[in-house]
Every structure is written in C-alpha cells, then in structure tokens.
C-alpha cells in the first residue's frame, strides 16, 4: 500500500471555497519533491512544474501545480497530530513483525526554524527502530528541557509490545519506565548523576562486589570489540540481577537488571576508559540482547539526525510558518524511510540524486521496488 493511502482521511484545513488544489495532490507533490532533493517551498513548486507529466501518472493535478505560497500555506496549516497519526499508521504497516525491536527515542533541534525572539527553534523527539531501519514517529517538544513529558506522550502513541526501548539519562525517570512496561515493552535506561541516589547505589553495588564480596553466581557478561579508522573500542558488559534489598527497587516498574559498561578506547598510542551504568527490565540471562540495545541506541544520531542535517539539510531550513517546520520535518522522515527501504546499494545522498534524475527510480521509492 502506498503511503498516501494512509493520508486519505487527513482533514483539509482550508474552507471549501478555497480548495482549488486537492490536498493529497499537494502532499504527494511535497513528498516526491523532497525525495528528489527539494529543500524549500519554491523548490517543491519548481519540481512540480518540471515533473507535472510524471505526477499526473499517479494523481489528477486537475489545476496544475499550486504556487509556492499555496504549498506553504496548506502544509503549514495541517494539524501535526493528524499528520503524525497518518504517519504512524503507515509505519506500523511496514513493521509487519514488530516484537523484539530495538527502539531508540532521542531529541533533535531544527536549528534555523526560529524567528528571532518571537519563535524558538523547533525541538522534536524521534523514535527510531534500528531493527527495521525506520523512523517510527516525530513528536514536538516544548524545548529540550521539556523532553521528559513529551517522551512519555510519544511512548503512549507507539506500538511497543515486545520491543526494547532505550533513552538517554535525561529520561531515566520512574514514570517513563512505568509507561514503557505498561505498553508491554522492556527498557534499558542510562543512569547518570541526575538520578544521584540511583547512580550511587548501582555504582557502589558493582564496586562492592568487585572489591570485597566477589561476584554472585547470577552475574552474566558480554564483550564486544569494534575497530576502524585507526581506533579499537572494547565494550565489556556486566549484568547483575537486582538484589531484593536494593534501595528503590520497588519504585522502578519491572526492574530486573543492573548493568555496568566499561568502554576502553585505543587510538594510536592513547588509551581511555569510561564506565557507564544502566538499569533494565530485561533478564540478566540475556546480556547480548542488553548489549545490542545499548549499542543500537546511538544509531539514531548517525542514521537519523546526521542524515537529516547533512543530506536533507534540515538544520539549514528556514521554514517556520505556523506548523510548517514540524510538518515538513515529518515529510523528510517519510522520505528517509522510503529511501532506506529501497534495496539499491548506494548512499542516502546517492539515492536522492537518482530520484531527482530518474522518474522510474523515484516511482520505485514511493510505490515499492518491482519484483
């Protein structure tokens, strides 16, 4: 099913007397243009003028291509919540086999979407499935300081049964853990000194076992070595079941495992060591799954945020009208998903360039690769 089928019930924000151009025509135009390298409203309009014949193979475009101001006005006026609902419905169809996913939630700022002192830059949370290589959702946050409540709201929206959800230390919150467990999912949460009591309890437990008491029989370990670009990085994972007398155990929903990760990094003649702590609702008996969830969390930076900024030039975008930045941001994430799903062996930039040049390839990205 084409992504557009999931947007058929999207409410048109225009009055009935101002609907010269069909709403789905405009959405299809925007996605096709961004997929072909367009970065702004004028780019989208110019793409439509050049590719009208191709666009009419799939949509009527009865009155041709709207002017760039009309495109901007319509996309910016769409309700972001309704757009997100359509997006999630589409992505859930792509996630045919959902359970056992690793899902990372992390924030990103659209740096040039501000308007001086009148309007702050948009900050949004992205949910990324490293298992499927898909952006699952985008949620606007009222600034980085308000990410916690927004993350919990995003968790409520997503289908998470059987998945492992990872978040950074800001989100190591009891309510966040509770929300994840309520969705029949597991969590792995980074513990830092913003949760000072928890951090000290976990660190003291590991240090105490190591220095004085020896390790309990239930301890499990996993090691991973990664190398490239002149560096070697070792990661040593040690997992312990939460002791019955562990302070605060009952306050964290589903808490089963405490984790210590020792990262040893060798670059030329320099060696550095870092120790990190995590809590998880996963069982201690599966340290490899825990390690995979921790490692995959940082994919959201390389495979989503970096690609959006470098390839889609999101940080450079000056779109800021109404909800325009949020809605065109969702269009970019839709294009990122469409591009990642295509089996062509090429970079993201290479695929977008091919979509701009080749009508057949663009159709494959949108409607699926032919057998």
Q: What percent of the chain has pLDDT over 70?
A: 94
The whole-chain average pLDDT of the chain stands at: 89
Statement to judge: residues 98 and 15 lie in one domain: no
Statement to judge: residues 134 and 255 lie in one domain: yes
Q: Which pLDDT band, with edges at 50, 70 and 90, does 117 fall under?
A: low
Task: Give the domain extent around 252.
Answer: 89-304
Q: Which pLDDT band, with edges at 50, 70 and 90, does 105 fall under?
A: very high
Compute the average pLDDT of residues 196-203.
92
pLDDT in tens, 34-58: 999 999 999 999 999 999 999 999 9
In this structure, the number of other CB atoms found within 10 A of the CB of residue 160 comes to: 25
How many CA atoms lie less than 13 Å away from 275 in the CB half-sphere? 11
Q: Which pLDDT band, with edges at 50, 70 and 90, does 115 fall under?
A: low
**Amino acid 74: pLDDT:** 94
**Amino acid 21: pLDDT:** 94
What are the Cα distances from residue 371, in Å, to 22, 95, 175, 268, 368? Answer: 31, 20, 46, 48, 9
317 domain-assigned: no
310 domain-assigned: no
**Amino acid 371: pLDDT:** 39
221 domain-assigned: yes
Statement to judge: residues 17 and 120 lie in one domain: no
Compute the average pLDDT of residues 118-135.
85
Q: Which pLDDT band, with edges at 50, 70 and 90, does 18 fall under?
A: confident
272 domain-assigned: yes
Statement to judge: residues 257 and 360 lie in one domain: no
pLDDT(16) > 60:
yes
Statement to judge: residues 100 and 25 lie in one domain: no
**Amino acid 273: pLDDT:** 92
pLDDT(114) > 90:
no
Site of tokens 């984790």: 259
pLDDT(145) > 70:
no
pLDDT in tens, 327-357: 999 999 999 999 999 999 999 999 999 999 9
Statement to judge: residues 109 and 252 lie in one domain: yes
Statement to judge: residues 160 and 14 lie in one domain: no
190 domain-assigned: yes
CB 329 within 8 A of CB 138: yes
**Amino acid 144: pLDDT:** 64
pLDDT in tens, 268-297: 888 999 999 999 999 988 899 999 999 999
pLDDT in tens, 251-268: 999 999 999 999 998 988
Question: How many whole angstroms separate alpha carbon 188 and alpha carbon 198?
Answer: 14
CB 151 within 8 A of CB 176: yes
pLDDT in tens, 176-187: 999 999 999 999
Q: CB pairs under 8 A, 24+ apart, for 191-194? A: 191/277, 191/278, 191/279, 192/277, 194/169, 194/170
Q: What percent of the chain has pLDDT over 90?
A: 65
Statement to judge: residues 93 and 176 lie in one domain: yes
- Secondary structure E strands in 179-218: 186-191
Statement to judge: residues 188 and 229 lie in one domain: yes
pLDDT(370) > 60:
no
360 domain-assigned: yes
42 domain-assigned: yes
Statement to judge: residues 111 and 215 lie in one domain: yes
Q: Which pLDDT band, with edges at 50, 70 and 90, does 369 fall under?
A: low
pLDDT(59) > 60:
yes
CA 32 to chain centre: 21
Top pLDDT among 321 and 91 is at 91
Query: How many domains is the chain partitioned into structurally?
Result: 2
Top pLDDT among 278 and 318 is at 278
Question: How many whole angstroms separate alpha carbon 211 and alpha carbon 202?
Answer: 14
């Amino acid at each position: 099913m084409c992504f557009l089928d999931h947007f058929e019930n999207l409410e048109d924000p225009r009055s009935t007397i101002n609907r010269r151009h069909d709403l789905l025509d405009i959405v299809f135009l925007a996605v096709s243009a961004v997929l072909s390298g367009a970065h702004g409203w004028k780019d989208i309009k110019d793409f439509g003028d050049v590719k009208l014949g191709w666009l009419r193979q799939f949509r009527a475009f009865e009155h041709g291509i709207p002017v760039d101001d009309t495109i901007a006005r319509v996309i910016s006026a769409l309700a972001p919540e309704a757009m997100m609902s359509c997006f999630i419905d589409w992505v859930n169809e792509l996630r045919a086999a959902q359970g056992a996913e690793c899902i990372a939630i992390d924030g990103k700022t659209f740096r040039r979407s501000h308007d001086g002192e009148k309007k702050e830059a948009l900050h949004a949370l992205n949910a990324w499935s490293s298992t499927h290589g898909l952006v699952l959702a985008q949620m606007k946050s009222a600034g980085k300081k308000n990410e916690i409540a927004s993350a919990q709201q995003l968790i409520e929206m997503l289908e998470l049964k059987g998945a492992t959800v990872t978040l950074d230390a800001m989100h190591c919150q009891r309510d966040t853990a509770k929300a994840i467990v309520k969705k029949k999912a597991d969590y792995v949460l980074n513990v830092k000194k913003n949760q000072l009591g928890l951090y000290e309890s976990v660190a003291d437990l590991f240090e105490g076992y190591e220095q004085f008491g020896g390790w309990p029989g239930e301890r499990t370990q996993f090691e991973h070595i990664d190398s490239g670009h002149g560096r070697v990085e070792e990661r040593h994972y040690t997992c312990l079941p939460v002791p019955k007398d562990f302070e605060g155990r009952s306050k964290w929903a589903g808490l089963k495992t405490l984790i210590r990760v020792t990262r040893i990094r060798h670059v030329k003649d320099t060696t550095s060591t870092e120790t990190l702590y995590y809590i998880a609702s996963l069982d201690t008996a599966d340290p490899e799954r825990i390690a995979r969830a921790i490692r995959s969390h940082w994919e959201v930076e390389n495979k989503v945020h970096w690609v959006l900024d470098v390839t889609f030039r999101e940080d450079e975008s000056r779109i800021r009208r109404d909800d325009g930045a949020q809605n065109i941001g969702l269009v970019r994430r839709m294009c990122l998903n469409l591009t990642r799903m295509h089996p062509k062996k090429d970079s993201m930039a290479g695929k977008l360039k091919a979509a701009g040049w080749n009508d057949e390839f663009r159709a494959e990205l949108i409607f699926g690769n032919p057998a």
